[in-house]
Structure 1
Amino acid sequence: MKKIIIFFTLFSLTFSNEIILKKELTYKKYTLENFYKYKNISREFQWEKIQNEILNIEKFKDKYFKIGTLRNFKNSNGNPAQLENFLTFPERDKYGVRRYQGIPLYQSLDKKPIRYGWDGSLVGILEEKEGFVKIKIESIEGEWWTPKRYVKQISNILIDKLIFIDRKNQNIVTLQKNNGVWIIKSMNPATTGLDKLPHNYPTPLGTFVIQDKKPRMNYLKLGSSSKIAGFAPYATRFSGGGYIHGIPVELPRTEIIEYSPTLGSTPRSRMCVRNASSHAKYVYEWAKPFNTLLMVIE
């Protein structure tokens, strides 16, 4: 049983059976305290939950020699098969995972899929059979089959960077492993997705692999499939259309907005995670696709 230690001093100790967190900020703007207030609400960084998630990730990587990520951004690997039972507007499974950009999960290859997996999810790869891959999704119970085209294998060795998004407390933490110690690099306010269909979606819970990045992510006017309403700077994608990004800029404005007082308040985006634009730039430059994990907790 591994022990868990948080070290907020200038020094760190290394023990073979301990998880050590050391606060050594690289990005120092807008830093929140461990416990703080939003209006009359007490908020915090859930270090114990973060530690447990790190333990789970380390155990997962130890258990599954082959790991990967689910991939179907904008249905690039094919419109997933329809479930036998599903919800509509938009079409989704009972867990809220949408068919669009989803990954079909089968318990038996001769039947319809049972549910969908989130694009970007971290998985363990168990075996291949007749064009299908058997996987274990880190954040979903059970083992599942899915067509091989939806799974990308990644290196199990290179993952040494973690991002935690806390939906309950509306904050973000970045960490990097160095000589067995998890260094806390930043502790900042964030704003997650609003659960208000059909245009707004909550930021999904689970463990995701950073997929790709773009310096400027255009977003559409609500209800439109083509009209650009503005852009968000320094966008780092983790699931479907879900990005960590800076403050949205509504056209015709073109200058980047550094900060918004709504950060750290209540969910209000369309699945994405808003940050101060300079912190979004920090994440954009620091996080490497396919060797950085992002965990969304409640």
Structure 2
Amino acid sequence: MKLSLKLILLSCCIAGISCNQTKEAKQAAEDPAEQRRLDSLETIKKAEEEAKKKPKTAADIKLSTDLAYNKHTLEETYPYKDTTRIFQMEKIKEKLAYVENFQRAPASYAVLQNHKNKNREAPLVKNYHRNEYTRISDSLGNERYQSAPLYALGETDKPSIYGRDGSLVKLKSSDTLAMVQVEGVSFEGTWEAPKRYVKTIGDSVTFHRVVFVDVTNQNILTAERTGDCEWAIRSMNPATTGQHKPPYAQETPTGMFVVQEKKTKMYYYKDGTTSIEGYAPYASRFTNGAYVHGVPVNNPKGAIIETSWSLGTTPRSHMCVRNASSHAKFVFDWAKTFNALVIVIE
């Protein structure tokens, strides 16, 4: 008797599921918008299942050379003074594998922004100290100036850490809220942040163009995705990064950032003044005041300079990444805003 009752109940459940499925199919057939919704849900489900599979590694990345810019090109290994410098291809492949992996599932992307504290100075974090630039920084060394406050989930009294301007995140909650939940792509963890620091860039954006800056070897490489785990090197050039010279010059920060802003001429002040000393051509900003740009011209009205003996030698910039000016223009044209990454390695 009990077995018969179970069979009856099971039959009813199956019938109910079948009826629901038939109802959904009928509704979808009558309503194209409903069919698109179901198709979208199915696509997301498949993508999420795919993303849960074994992550890609450096060994999966096929990196070929197909230059789109061929001036001042360096070999993969090249002499420098009495030593040898390299393009760190294995490390580049590791980063490209990471870029492949975080894009395997659909997401709504956003960028943390607070250039020159335009969205208000971030509140003090719970544990802070003054760094060697006399500026306040968090326990990870991220400065308060130009950063966004990140709060532990459910704890909105004080932020825990700072998120650097230009950091890429995935938006995990509605962007109509005063506080939004973000999952770090440029950094680890899921956090809450005030909406004013978070610029949504959508769920259709793809990051298929990456600029790699090597602060150890003082070089720059651009790579473009051409297929599944397939990337082509578009340029390999000397560069000069930021030097440690407080209070005006700082190292180019390592990490992953989004290209946010372009300036044909980025004018700069003489240190310690508000007097314009010159400009840098074809500047692409990726974090704080750090740009990929051409050779600086110490004359606001001077002509563009193509190259400099100092490129590829030792850090000597204020935070920026100097290139030959024609290469800076290549990056300027090729790496679209909010659609390309700058990854700084060491």
Q: Name the TM-score, length of structure 2 as normaliser.
A: 0.78
Per the alignment, in what secondary structure is the counterpart of residue 214 of structure 1?
Answer: strand
Q: Quote the Cα distance in structure 2 between the aligned partners of 1:288 and 1:131.
A: 29
Q: Quote the Cα distance in structure 1 between the aligned partners of 2:119 and 2:342.
A: 22
- Is residue 2:272 matched to residue 1:223? yes
* 2:71 aligned to which of 29, 32, 50: 29
* 1:90 aligned to which of 126, 129, 135: 135
Q: Quote the Cα distance in structure 2 between the aligned partners of 1:66 and 1:58.
A: 16
Q: Deviations over 1:158-210 (max 9, x none)?
A: 32111111111111111111233311100001011112221111111111110
The answer to which structure has the higher strand fraction is 1
Alignment partner, residue 213 of structure 2: 165
Q: Quote the Cα distance in structure 1 between the aligned partners of 2:161 and 2:72.
A: 40
Task: Between 177-186 and 28-37, report the one with greater CA deviation.
Answer: 177-186
Alignment partner, residue 148 of structure 1: 195
Q: Is the alpha carbon distance of 1:54 and 1:79 closer, same or farther for their aligned partners in structure 2, counting shifts above 3 Å? A: same
* 2:281 aligned to which of 233, 251, 261: 233
Give the AA of the match of 2:138: D
Task: Between 53-62 and 270-279, report the one with greater CA deviation.
Answer: 53-62
Q: Quote the Cα distance in structure 2 between the aligned partners of 1:125 and 1:188.
A: 35
Structure 1, unmatched stretches of 5+, are: 6-17
Q: Quote the Cα distance in structure 2 between the aligned partners of 1:117 and 1:56.
A: 19
Give the AA of the match of 1:166: D
Task: Between 252-261 and 33-42, report the one with greater CA deviation.
Answer: 252-261
- Is residue 2:148 matched to residue 1:99? no
How far off is 1:41 after superposition? Answer: 2.5
Q: Quote the Cα distance in structure 1 between the aligned partners of 2:111 and 2:117.
A: 15
| Equivalences, count | 285
Q: Quote the Cα distance in structure 2 between the aligned partners of 1:294 and 1:86.
A: 28
Give the AA of the match of 1:208: F
- Is residue 2:234 matched to residue 1:185? yes
Give the AA of the match of 1:137: G
The answer to which structure has the higher helix fraction is 2
**Structure with more relative contact order (C-alpha pairs < 8 Å, separation 6 or more):** 1
Task: Between 32-41 and 252-261, report the one with greater CA deviation.
Answer: 252-261
Q: Is the alpha carbon distance of 1:252 and 1:154 closer, same or farther for their aligned partners in structure 2, counting shifts above 3 Å? A: closer
Q: Deviations over 1:5-59 (max 9, x none)?
A: 6xxxxxxxxxxxx422120101111111111121123211111111111111221
Q: Name the TM-score, length of structure 1 as normaliser.
A: 0.89
Whichever of the two has the greater Rg, that structure is: 2
Per the alignment, in what secondary structure is the counterpart of residue 101 of structure 2?
Answer: helix
Per the alignment, in what secondary structure is the counterpart of residue 104 of structure 2?
Answer: helix
How far off is 1:61 after superposition? Answer: 2.0
* Equivalent residues of 1:120, 1:240 under 8 A apart: yes
- Is residue 2:120 matched to residue 1:72? no
* Equivalent residues of 1:246, 1:274 under 8 A apart: yes
Q: Deviations over 1:73-126 (max 9, x none)?
A: 121212111224231522333433222211111115333112211100111222
Q: Deviations over 1:225-254 (max 9, x none)?
A: x21111100000101111000011112660
Structure 2, unmatched stretches of 5+, are: 1-53
Alignment partner, residue 203 of structure 1: 252
* Equivalent residues of 2:57, 2:94 under 8 A apart: no
Poorly superposed stretches of 4+, deviation over 4 Å = none
Give the AA of the match of 1:92: S
Give the AA of the match of 1:201: Q
How far off is 1:285 after superposition? Answer: 1.1
